[in-house]
Structure 1
Amino acid sequence: MSIVTLDDAKKQINIPADATEFDDEVQAYCDGITAVIEDYKREVIEPRTIREDIEHAGRSGRCFRLWSVPVISLTSLTSVTGSTVWDVSPTVLRVNSNTGLVRVLSGPAVRGLAEAVYQAGYQTIPDNYRRGALVALQHNWETRRGAAGGGVRNGVVGPEEVYDPRWSYSIPRKALEWLGAPRPVVG
């Protein structure tokens, strides 16, 4: 899954829609840029299922955190021994989608090791994320192939894009402006 489509990427890097010789490579760039943008933003952007072990040793067992955010929905929560299966309905387990904080409103506390299965990402990817991903994809494509895209390594245009090995990067400043600041780190 990718933040940007193959068609949008080809349009961004000036490859005609009916030209297919670079499709596999461009798709690999689409897939790769998704991981780069998600790492930068510190969040899941492209929706997917996450399996995560939750270990709760606190006294109350009434609160825990899912680490891949934003959370779309909690699918299941089961102790690793299988002895406890929690009801994941919002009246029992309340999930803050932005922070991943889950509160146990009723039923048994969460103690020991449990496996949470949930959907994380954006149901609708923000337009500025798509635009930032396209700019970053174009930057990476052109630093490898040149602006013409035909394998000529003449780089990208603009003083902020001049390659200096001391400052190697995958996301140029103009893409960062589209993406905005990364999500704060929660301890």
Structure 2
Amino acid sequence: MPFDLGATVRLSGECRDPGGTLASAATAVVTVTLPDETTISPTVTEDPDTAGKYWTDYVTTTPGRHSVRWVWTEPAAAYTDVFDVQEEAPPAILSLADARQHLNLVSTKDDGEVRFWNTATTRAVEYFVGPVVARSFTEEHQVRVSRTVVLHRTPVLAVTAVTTLLTGGVSYSVDSLHVDRDTGEVLRLDGGRLDGRLRFTYRAGRTVIPENITAGARIILEHLWLTQRGSRGGLAGGGQDLSEPVPGLGYAIPNRALQLLEPDRLPPGVA
């Protein structure tokens, strides 16, 4: 499961000789490669009770995929792994408490797994209806002398910055722009034109989340939760409607959830 940004990750590795037996090494080095390709090598400790078992604690500082490389000498051994760090405020339509309540979970021992599927549920819902959780997006557009440009994600709440990427290019004040919330169209109000390679930073999502979207999210979450826990005593499929695959997502989304999302569905070809 992804770690929270700022959380401490316990990294562990086992040094084994060519015969597969745990063995203390002359040297032990672990290298963590961050998402920006920078690296760090925390101090490694060998377990005092079990020779050949090593660990280190790493405090996360950057969201994204991290790779971990263990290397030992005498005996020569190596081990590679990965872990993910989520954004400081990952988008989630349902709160953890709401998700736990809907799944009828009293204990908090599965909270990490619930959070994972809750985030996956949000991504699935937004595939059909666009951003639900309000947050910032950045995208670049090549504009050729036009009064308008259409942003990719809707509903748009506000354009917060427009930056030209060309040396000597014209800068644009967001106060001179009008944004159509539902279509994402940005229009210059002063009659001028937008031109060049432009980077738009804007917020998109819902300030109030309609009940049909919340209900659809609850159904999808329950479906994903029960499906993946089928081998552990749950009902595979969760008793949901698996009769028809959904383009782009296969059988992951029950049809009754789609019916709830239908009033807010994006036009065909828009995702």
User: Common fold, TM-score beyond 0.5?
Assistant: yes
Distance in 2, Cα, partners of 1:106 & 1:186: 32
- Per the alignment, residue 140 of structure 2 pairs with 53
Q: Which has a greater percent of strand?
A: 2
Which of 166, 175, 179 is the matching residue for 2:261? 179
- SS of structure 2 residue aligned to 1:142: helix
- SS of structure 2 residue aligned to 1:74: strand
Distance in 2, Cα, partners of 1:29 & 1:20: 15
Q: 1:55 to 1:162 in 2, by over 3 A?
A: closer
Q: Is the 8 A contact 1:86 1:108 kept in 2?
A: no
- Per the alignment, residue 152 of structure 1 pairs with 233
- SS of structure 2 residue aligned to 1:46: coil
Which stretches in structure 1 are left out of the alignment for 5+ residues? Answer: none
Q: Which has a greater percent of helix?
A: 1
Using CA pairs under 8 Å that are at least 6 residues apart, name the structure with larger relative contact order, 1 or 2. Answer: 1
Aligned-pair CA distance for 1:124: 1.4
- Per the alignment, residue 136 of structure 1 pairs with 220
Query: Pairwise mapping of residues 10-159 of structure 1 onto structure 2 (< 5 A)?
Result: 10-16=100-106, 19-41=107-129, 43-57=130-144, 60-81=145-166, 83-89=169-175, 92-106=176-190, 108-146=192-230, 151-155=232-236, 156-157=238-239
Distance in 1, Cα, partners of 2:100 & 2:243: 23
Aligned-pair CA distance for 1:185: 3.8
Q: What RMSD, in angstroms, separates the aligned Cα atoms of the two structures?
A: 2.3
Distance in 1, Cα, partners of 2:244 & 2:262: 23
Which stretches in structure 2 are left out of the alignment for 5+ residues? Answer: 1-90
1:125-160 CA-to-partner distances (Å, cap 9, x unmatched) read 1121111001000011111114xxx921432235x3
Distance in 1, Cα, partners of 2:124 & 2:210: 16
Identity fraction in percent: 28
- Tell me how many residue pairs correspond in the alignment: 174
Q: 1:118 to 1:168 in 2, by over 3 A?
A: closer
Aligned-pair CA distance for 1:14: 1.0
TM-score by length of 2: 0.59
TM-score by length of 1: 0.84
Q: 1:100 to 1:162 in 2, by over 3 A?
A: closer
- Give the letter aligned to residue 72 of structure 1: L
Aligned-pair CA distance for 1:161: 4.1
